Amino acid sequence: MEKILINGEDLTFDDVVDVACNYVQIELGNLEKVRQCVDFIAQKVNEKEVIYGVTTGFGAKADKVIAPEDARQLQINLLRSHS
């Protein structure tokens, strides 16, 4: 089975449809960039920086600040609510 490479450069709309609707698997390219992004977000959470949907709620609850220790669970809850 073919996998779609996620490399931050050439993802197409058809690729997104294939993943979302046809269950095509993905492969992450350049894992170092992924790690840098994860580290950046973790740093901002620890610094209690306000980032919509990361350290705040969503939509009508965007003004509610999320405690750093709850930021991870917020993201898990978001994925669950959209699945």
In order of 3, 42, 60, 64, the CA distances from 9 in angstroms are 16, 24, 33, 34
User: Could you give the count of Cα atoms lying within 13 Å of 24 in the half-sphere of its Cβ?
Assistant: 16
Query: Which of 51, 52, 64, 77 does the annotation list as catalytic?
Result: 52
23 is known as an active-site residue: no
Active site residues: 52
